[in-house]
């Protein structure tokens, strides 16, 4: 292998989606939950998917993992894992990928663990199944995994049922199960939403430590921009089933282009603001995925909307810095944006963050 | 020294709610054990003030909110609301008193009856209490609905499932306002909502508070939200109050190590701010057998032998800022208490 090959393999994506569409047939018509999403995740890299409820972020991660039902779901586009097309794999074929190559942890650790099975059994099950270990071997590995995810008294904990563990402990068990077969790719779907803020910080710390130690890739799905800021290399903001802005984390925060991303950031109450600050809001609600609006999906809620936005849908645009794309005709900082911002500020409708009402 | 002190209570004519030595315990079956949900806390709320109560799951913040409403009645302690001792009321007089204190819950969708029309849900409190004629009631309901940003026409025709989570929370707020209460207890009212919608509901509560002259008790685990809406904040841990302070002071200058831990655990939406190393390990101990001394001593980075044996009481470290800690982050060591009383 020569030098250029080496560089190429390093840059090549571990997981890549090209124009993935996942549409659900509903009584009201076809809901476009994910509508043409292309993302790449490189080995050892972490990507954050951020969006409001109904933006398609969870459906996207499940589409990649092949965890959606076959009936009533229209799937298009390509999902590649290590260059291999997996979007057409049957569940039986996916079994060689689930666990060993890709694993997932879910939001609610109570409902994703089997309540009538000891947690030790739940973790050794996949070890014996995928790696063909004996019961004793698997138990020893499980104990080590529990130690890795900082579960105190692992030997005792292995013999307990999920209800005997706290929420944070259960999420640690979920992470240990996901790590059991040494996956290359971990999907974490709102892993900390059900947890307390102190425990959330511990779990996020644990995830990024595991990612580093195992050179694993991480896809972190969340609605909290604060969570992704500290723990991801790249962020994709989703809205109405599409990626509306994607950039390396520091670029996204420093040079936000999409008014939606800006509005999301501004609506987070910040600790450095005095109390009773007026919070910026996004009026209205996310688009109807069965009858999406014409033009830009965010236009009906956007403070910077113009006629063009209501009639034509913006394509992905390339920003000044590489790897930064967005979908907007009048991005943050453009002359039209600034003109409107002056107008809104004069009318008192654009409150600078930190202003006291 | 059973309680956590009352140094922070204010002597003012404007006190609307005063809670003293509140204890709530739940027995566990016939084991003789009990869950010590709230273990002797005291606080007060002035008219027009917003008190925020923060803490992790299981710290007793929701139980405190419910105990004020006598749902269920506390094990012991006194709750004086607007000059009336609520714990001694019963039956009809308690029902009457509850019209003055209303509550909003975390899950807006499950707190509304799914089979009824939204306008009827908001109307029900008025018809129960026979306030005015039917026409007057409907007019009042429509006015309130408009106030919270819900179209009355649509409310008359639709059921809760036809509204989004944020709209359902607005409907809950309308229902709580319709009896013209003096105080609203908000129990995690925005934690189930998206961040953009969360901001809408917080702004709405601020507006309504001014318009209707309300007093709020705002219970939540999200400190950023609590800070924004509150005038004063009480931090709870395992059934006790650790720290009470004006909200800006608390954030600028936390005195209790636990408050500091809570603050540092909040993820900051800014990648240039380095993620702080969390100085706390593990999770809160079980409220069935809370630790002796200071309840935070098992996780506290500053814990000493004194913390393991002697319970700290609330004392003032700067004007209006009270902390229950032997070794606070500022304000000096707690004076050693005189024993044997």
66-125 of B, contacting A, C-beta below 8 A: none
Least confident of A181-185, A272-276, B281-285: B281-285
Q: Which residue on chain B is closest to A270 by alpha carbon? A: B224
Partner residue facing B262 (CB), from A198, A250, A275:
A198
User: How much is the pLDDT for A8?
Assistant: 44
User: How much is the pLDDT for A4?
Assistant: 45
User: How much is the pLDDT for B277?
Assistant: 66
The tally of domains found in chain B comes to 1
Residues of B in contact with A283 (CB under 8 A): 200
pLDDT of A235 strictly over 90: yes
Give residue B312's domain range. 15-100+181-323
Q: Which residue on chain B is closest to A164 by alpha carbon? A: B286
| Mean of pLDDT over chain A | 89
pLDDT of A237 strictly over 60: yes
pLDDT band (50, 70, 90) for residue A283: confident
User: How much is the pLDDT for A1?
Assistant: 43
pLDDT band (50, 70, 90) for residue A143: very high
The reply to whether B113 falls in a domain is no
User: How much is the pLDDT for B340?
Assistant: 41
User: How much is the pLDDT for B267?
Assistant: 84
Query: Per-residue pLDDT averaged across A94-103, rounded?
Result: 91
Which of B54, B61, B194, B204 is the best mutation test for A, with the most CBs of A within 10 A?
Answer: B194
The minimum CA-CA distance between A266 and chain B, rounded to whole Å, is: 9
Inter-chain CB proximity B268 and A202 less than 8 Å = no
277-296 of A, contacting B, C-beta below 8 A: 277-283, 285
The reply to whether B144 falls in a domain is no
Residues of A in contact with B272 (CB under 8 A): 250, 253-254
Query: In which element (H, E) is residue B78 found?
Result: strand B76-81
Question: Which residues touch A17 (CB under 8 Å, ≥6 apart)?
Answer: A37, A38, A39, A40, A60, A63, A64, A77, A78, A79, A80
Put simply, whether A270 touches B (Cβ < 8 Å) is yes
Give the separation between CA B291 and CA B272, rounded to whole angstroms: 39
Q: Is B188 left (phi over 0), alpha (psi -120 to 50) or beta?
A: left
User: How much is the pLDDT for B195?
Assistant: 84
The pLDDT profile of chain B, 341 residues, written as one tens digit per residue, is: 334 678 888 888 899 999 999 999 999 888 889 999 999 999 999 999 999 999 988 899 999 999 999 988 999 999 999 999 999 998 899 999 999 999 999 888 889 999 999 999 999 999 999 999 999 999 999 999 999 999 999 999 999 999 988 899 999 999 999 999 999 999 999 988 888 888 899 999 999 999 999 999 999 988 889 999 999 999 999 999 999 999 999 999 999 999 999 888 888 888 887 776 666 777 788 889 999 999 999 999 889 999 999 999 999 999 999 999 999 998 888 887 554 43
Inter-chain CB proximity B262 and A267 less than 8 Å = no
Put simply, whether A231 touches B (Cβ < 8 Å) is yes
pLDDT band (50, 70, 90) for residue A357: very low
User: How much is the pLDDT for B332?
Assistant: 83
pLDDT band (50, 70, 90) for residue A3: very low
Residues of B in contact with A230 (CB under 8 A): 267-268, 271, 273, 275
User: How much is the pLDDT for B72?
Assistant: 86
* Domain boundaries along the sequence of chain A: 256-346
Q: Please state the ipTM of this predicted complex.
A: 0.82
Put simply, whether B249 touches A (Cβ < 8 Å) is no
**CATH number of the domain bearing residue B234:** 3.40.50.300
The pTM assigned to this predicted structure is: 0.87
User: How much is the pLDDT for A349?
Assistant: 75
Inter-chain CB proximity B265 and A264 less than 8 Å = no
- Pairs of CB atoms within 8 A across A/B: 131
pLDDT of A6 strictly over 70: no
Inter-chain CB proximity A280 and B199 less than 8 Å = yes
CA-only gyration radius of chain A, Å = 22
Query: Per-residue pLDDT averaged across A148-158, rounded?
Result: 89
Structure tokens at B235: 């931090």
User: How much is the pLDDT for A117?
Assistant: 94
Inter-chain CB proximity B265 and A200 less than 8 Å = yes
């Amino acid at each position: 292998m020569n030098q250029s090959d080496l560089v190429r393999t390093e840059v090549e994506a571990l997981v890549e989606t090209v124009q993935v569409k996942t549409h659900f047939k509903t009584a009201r018509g076809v809901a476009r939950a994910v509508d043409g999403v292309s993302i790449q995740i490189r080995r050892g890299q972490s990507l954050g998917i951020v969006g409001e409820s109904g933006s398609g972020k969870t459906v996207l991660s499940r589409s990649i993992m092949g965890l959606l039902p076959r009936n009533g779901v229209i799937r298009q586009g390509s999902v590649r894992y290590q260059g291999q097309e997996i979007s057409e794999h049957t569940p039986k074929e996916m079994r060689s990928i689930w666990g060993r190559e890709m694993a997932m942890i879910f939001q609610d650790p109570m409902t994703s663990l089997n309540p009538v099975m000891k947690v030790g059994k739940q973790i050794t099950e996949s070890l014996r199944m995928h790696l063909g270990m004996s019961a004793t071997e698997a138990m020893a590995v499980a104990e080590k995994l529990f130690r890795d995810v900082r579960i105190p008294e692992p030997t005792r904990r292995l013999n307990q049922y999920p209800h005997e563990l706290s929420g944070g402990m259960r999420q640690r068990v979920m992470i240990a199960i996901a790590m059991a077969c040494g996956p290359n790719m971990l999907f974490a779907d709102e892993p900390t939403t059900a947890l307390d803020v102190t425990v959330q910080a511990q779990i996020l710390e644990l995830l990024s430590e595991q990612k580093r130690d195992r050179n694993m890739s991480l896809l972190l799905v969340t609605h909290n921009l604060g969570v992704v800021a500290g723990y991801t290399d790249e962020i994709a903001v989703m809205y109405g089933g599409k990626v509306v802005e994607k950039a390396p984390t520091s670029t996204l925060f420093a040079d936000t282009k999409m008014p939606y991303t800006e509005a999301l950031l501004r609506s987070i109450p910040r600790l450095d603001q005095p109390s009773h600050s007026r919070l910026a809001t996004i009026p209205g609600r996310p688009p109807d995925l069965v009858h999406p609006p014409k033009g830009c999906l965010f236009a009906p809620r956007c403070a910077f909307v113009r006629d063009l936005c209501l009639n034509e849908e913006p394509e992905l645009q390339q920003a000044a810095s590489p790897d930064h794309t967005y979908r907007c005709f009048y991005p943050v900082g453009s002359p039209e944006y600034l003109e409107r911002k002056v107008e809104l500020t004069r009318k008192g409708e654009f409150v600078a963050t930190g202003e006291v009402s | 020294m059973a309680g956590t002190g009352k140094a922070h209570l204010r002597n003012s004519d404007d006190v609307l709610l005063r809670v003293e030595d509140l204890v709530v315990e739940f027995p566990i079956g016939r084991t003789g054990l009990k869950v010590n949900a709230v273990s002797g806390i005291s606080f007060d709320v002035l008219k027009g003030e917003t008190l925020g109560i923060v803490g992790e799951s299981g710290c007793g913040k929701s139980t405190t909110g419910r105990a004020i409403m006598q749902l269920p009645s506390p094990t012991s302690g006194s709750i004086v609301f607007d000059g009336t001792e609520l714990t001694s009321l019963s039956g009809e007089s308690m029902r009457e008193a509850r019209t003055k204190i209303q509550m909003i819950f975390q899950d807006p969708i499950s707190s509304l009856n799914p089979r009824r029309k939204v306008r009827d849900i908001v109307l029900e409190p008025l018809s129960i209490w026979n306030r005015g004629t039917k026409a007057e009631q409907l007019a009042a309901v429509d006015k309130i609905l408009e106030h919270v940003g819900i179209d009355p026409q649509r409310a008359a025709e639709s059921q809760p499932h036809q509204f989004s989570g944020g709209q359902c929370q607005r409907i809950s707020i309308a229902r709580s306002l319709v009896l013209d209460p003096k105080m609203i207890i908000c129990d995690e009212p925005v934690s189930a909502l998206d961040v953009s919608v969360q901001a809408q509901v917080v702004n709405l509560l601020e507006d309504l508070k001014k318009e209707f002259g309300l007093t709020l008790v705002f219970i939540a685990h999200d400190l950023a939200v609590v800070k924004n809406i509150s005038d004063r904040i009480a931090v709870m841990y395992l059934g006790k109050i650790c720290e009470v302070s004006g909200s800006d002071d608390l954030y600028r200058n936390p005195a209790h190590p636990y408050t500091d831990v809570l603050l540092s655990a909040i993820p900051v939406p800014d990648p240039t701010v380095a993620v702080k190393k969390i100085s706390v390990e593990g999770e809160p101990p079980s409220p069935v057998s809370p630790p002796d001394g200071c309840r935070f001593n098992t996780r506290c980075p500053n814990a000493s032998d004194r913390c393991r044996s002697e319970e700290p009481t609330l004392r003032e470290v700067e004007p209006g800022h009270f902390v229950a800690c032997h070794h606070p982050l500022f304000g000096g060591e707690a004076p050693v208490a005189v024993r044997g009383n």
